[in-house]
Chain A
Amino acid sequence: MSESFVRTNHAPERMPPNAHIGVVRWMRENLFSSWFNACLTIFSIVLLFLTLPPLLDWAIFSAVFSGEDGAACRVDGAGACWAFVEAKFGQFLFGRYPAEERWRVLLTLFLGVAGLAPLLIPSEFPKKWFVAYLLVPFPLLAFVFLSGGLFGLATVETSDWGGLMVTLVVAVTGIAASLPLGVLLALGRQSDMPVVRILCVVFIEFWRGVPLITVLFMSSVMLPLFLPEGMSFDKLLRALIGVALFSSAYMAEVVRGGLAAVPAGQYEAAKALGLTYWQSMGRIVLPQALKTVIPGIVNNFIGLFKDTTLVLIIGLFDLLGIVQSNFTDPTWSSPQTATTGYVFAAFVFWIFCFGMSRYSVYMERRLDAGEQR
C-alpha cells in the first residue's frame, strides 16, 4: 500500500530574498537599474560631495552668528556673516521708516492678512464681503496708515519707505490693480466692437513687447513730462503706475486663455436666458474662466513679486535695494558680507514665491477634484 504524502500544516511564511525588498530593492530600482543609471548615480554623488559639505560649512559650521560689528566676520576662514543680517534686520524689513512708527506697517500688514486669509482657505462663509473690503476700505486704510498725515499720525515720506515693506507695497498694488484691469482688457480683446478690440490688442502687445526696465525708465523720466505744469507725482507712485500697467497686460493674456476655455454653449445659454452682457460675463463666464486659470494667475503674481526688485534701478529701496545699500557700511565690511546679504534676500524671496507656487498646486488639485468622477 503506497502512502501518499499530504501536507497538513502550512509552511511558515518566509521573507522574500534580500535583493527584492527594502533599501536594496529600492536602490536597484531607483539608482542602479542600468549601467547608464549607475553612472549617473555616481556622477550625482560626486556632485553632491563637491557642493554640499562646503555649503554647509559656509552657512552653519564656520558661520558667524553674533557680534557687534564685522570684526568676527573679517577673520580668515569665516563663513556666512549672519550677525550682519541680525544687526540690520529692522532696516531690511522697514527701510528708513522711523522706528517708533513701525507698528503702523505691522498693523497694515495685519489688516491685509485678515482680509486675505479667509479668501485663501476653502470654506463656506460668504467671501464677497472680504473681497469688497480688500478692494475699497483696505487700500484707503493702508494708505492712511503708511503715509500718515491724517488722524494725528505723523507723516512718513515715501522716500523713507524701504525694505520688504516696499517690496510688498509694490507687489500688492500691482496685483490688486492688474487683476481687474487685466479682466477688462481680456474682455475688450474678445469684444465684437472693432475699435475696442484693436485698442486692447495694441495696449496688450505694447506692454508685453517691452522690458519692465524700460517701463520703469519711462515712468520715472517721461511721466513727469506727461503731466500739466506744476503737477508732480511721487516717485513710488510713478513706479506703481508703471508696474500696474505692465502686469495688467500679462494678466489680460492669462484671462483670455480662461475665456477661450469656457465652452461656447455657456455663452449661448446665458444669452438664451436673456442676460445682459455684463450679467452673463459676471455671473456665468468669468467665474468659470478665472477658476480655470488660477495657476496662471498665481504664476503671474510670482513673476510680479520677483520683478519688484527692478524698482531699485530707478532709486527705490526694496528689500534687495536696502540689503545691497548696507554692504557699504564700513563697520560691517567683510569678504562675506555681500554673499550673506544676497543669500538672505534670496531666501526671503524664495519663501514667498515658493509658498505661492505650492498654493497654486494645492488649488489646482482641489479644483480638479470636482472634475473627477
Chain B
Amino acid sequence: MSSSPQPWNNPKLRAFAIQLAVLFVVGSFVWIIIDNTITNLQRQNIASGFGFLENPAGFGIALTLVDYTEQSSYGRALLVGFLNTLLVAVIGIFVATILGFTLGIARLSSNWLVAKIATVYIEVVRNVPLLLQLFFWYFAVLRALPLPRESLSLLELAFLNNRGIYVPALLLEGNGLILGLSVLVGIVSAWLIGRHAKRKRLETGEIVKGIAFAPLLVFVLPVLAFLALGMGLKAEVPSLQGFGFKGGWSLIPEFVSLLLALSFYTAAFIAENVRSGILAVSKGQTEAARALGLKPTPILRLVVIPQALRVIIPPLTSQYLNLTKNSSLAVAIAYPDLVSVFSGTVLNQTGQAVEVIAITMTIYLSLSLFTSLVMNWYNRHMALVER
C-alpha cells in the first residue's frame, strides 16, 4: 500500500520552490538597497551617472606615466592611477618571484646556516601585517634618511635621501628602433632554437649542446647592433639644484617603500609555495633519473622542476593576485595608485561614491579575472596529460 505522494516530498518541486524563494529574497534585498540608494542620493542632491569623468580634476599627481596636468579630466586621473597600480604590481611580481624562488630553495638547502636564515626570514615576514611593514619602510626607514642637501651618495653618481632615490639616466644616442628590433629578433631566435632543441631531444634523445646559452641572444644581439652601428650612450648624472635633485632617473619614496613592502612580503609566501612544490616531487623521480644516467643539472631541469612547477603555479597565481590587490595599501602612504587617486581624492572631491567605488571594484575584478585566465592557460599548458 503506497501512501499518496505529498508535494513537499517531490524533490523537483521542492528544489523549484526553494530556488524561487531564494530568488525572491535576494531580489527584494537588492531592490530595497537600490531604492534606498536612489532616495538617499536624491535627498543629498548628488547627480548620478558617469558624466563627472569629463570634468577637470584640478589636483596634481606625484607620479604619472602618461601626460597629466591639473587641467586633465577625472577620467585621465583614473588612467594615471590605474597605470601606477600596474607599474608597482608588475615590478613587484617580478622582484617577489625571484626573491621567493631563491628563499624557497634556500630553505631546502643542505647548508644548515642558509636554511635557518631563510626560515627565520619567512617566519618573521609572513606573520607581520603588510600594512605595518609598509609603514615601517616608509616612515621608519625612508623618512629617516637625510635631507637632499646631506644625501647619501654612491661615488657622487647615485643619491639617496628622504625625497627618493636618484640614479644617472642613460640616454641613447642614435636609432633606438634598431635596438628594439634586435631585442625582438633575439627573443624570437632564442625561442626558435629552444623549440628545435626540444624537438630534437624528444625525437632522438640527444641533448643539443650549449642550449642553455640560447637566452643570452636576447642580450648579445642588441649589444652587437649597438657596437656595429657606433651608437653612443650618455649618462646624465643627477645634481643638487635648489632644494632637490634635477636630472637623472628618480624614484619617489612612496614607490620604493610600496615596492619593498609588497615584494618582501609576497616573497615569503612564494617561498613556501616553492618549497612545498619541490617537496611534492617524489624522491623516486630523482632516483630513477639518476639510474638512467642523467647528471644533476639535467635532473633538476628536466625532471624535478617541471613536476614541481605543476604544484607551484596555482598557488603562485593567487600570490600574484594578492600582490596586485595588496598594492591598494598604497592609499596609506599616498602613493598615487588607483585606490589612492580615484577612491581617495576623486571620491572626496566629487562625492560620487557609488560610481567611484563601482569603477574601482570593476577594475580590480577584471584584473583578477584576466590574471587567472592567463595563469590557468599556462597551467593547462604545463599540466600532466593523463590518459
Contact = CB atoms under 8 A, between A and B. Distances in A.
Contact of B109 (A40, A302, A338, A345): A40
A351 B130 CA distance: 15
A209 B365 contact: yes
A248 interface: no
A307 interface: yes
Nearest to B372: A209
A155 interface: no
A226 B35 CA distance: 8
A31 B364 contact: no
B223 interface: no
Given A194-B19, A213-B328, A226-B33, A335 B144 contact: yes
Contacts of B40: 224-225, 229
B127 A354 contact: yes
Interface string B104-143: 0000011111100100000110111111110110011000
A14 to B, nearest CB: 29
Given A41-B113, A213-B331, A193 B19 contact: yes
Given A193-B15, A228-B36, A320-B135, A210 B329 contact: no
A44 B115 CA distance: 10
Contacts of A306: 127-130
B338 to A, nearest CB: 9
A211 B326 contact: yes
Given A196-B22, A209-B369, A338-B139, A225 B127 contact: no
Contacts of B33: 226
Contact of A206 (B41, B132, B326, B365): B365
A324 B135 contact: yes
Given A30-B112, A229-B39, A339-B140, A211 B131 contact: no
Interface string A346-363: 100110011001000000
A144 interface: no
A51 to B, nearest CB: 10
Interface stretch (B73-81, B203-211, B235-243, B352-360): B352-360
Nearest to B344: A217
Contacts of A229: 36, 39-40, 43
A310 interface: yes
Nearest to B19: A195
Interface string B17-59: 0110011001000000100110111010000000000000000
B307 to A, nearest CB: 21
Given A196-B19, A209-B365, A213-B329, A33 B110 contact: yes
A313 interface: yes
Contacts of B18: 193, 196
A37 B113 CA distance: 10
Given A211-B339, A213-B339, A353 B127 contact: yes
A133 interface: no
Interface centre among A37, A214, A307 (most CB of B within 10 A): A214
A30 B128 contact: no
A349 B132 CA distance: 10
A225 B368 contact: no
B111 A40 contact: yes
Given A306-B128, A309-B129, A345-B132, A210 B117 contact: no
Nearest to B143: A338
Contact of B117 (A48, A211, A222): A48
Contacts of B373: none
B198 interface: no
A75 interface: no
A214 B342 CA distance: 11
A47 to B, nearest CB: 7
Contact of B132 (A199, A217, A342): A342
A250 to B, nearest CB: 10
A196 to B, nearest CB: 6
Given A209-B365, A338-B144, 17 more contacts: A40-B109, A193-B18, A195-B19, A199-B26, A210-B361, A211-B325, A211-B364, A214-B357, A217-B347, A226-B37, A228-B36, A229-B43, A309-B131, A313-B332, A339-B136, A342-B132, A357-B126
Task: List 5 A-B pairs, minimum CB-CB distance, nearest first.
Answer: A353-B127, A30-B112, A211-B325, A306-B129, A209-B368
Interface of B: 15, 18-19, 22-23, 26, 33, 36-37, 39-41, 43, 109-114, 117, 123-124, 126-133, 135-136, 139-140, 144, 325-326, 328-329, 331-332, 339, 343, 347, 353-354, 357, 360-361, 364-365, 368-369
22 contacts: A37-B110, A37-B111, A40-B109, A40-B113, A193-B19, A195-B19, A211-B328, A213-B328, A213-B343, A214-B357, A217-B357, A218-B357, A229-B43, A306-B127, A310-B329, A312-B131, A320-B135, A327-B139, A342-B140, A349-B132, A350-B124, A353-B128
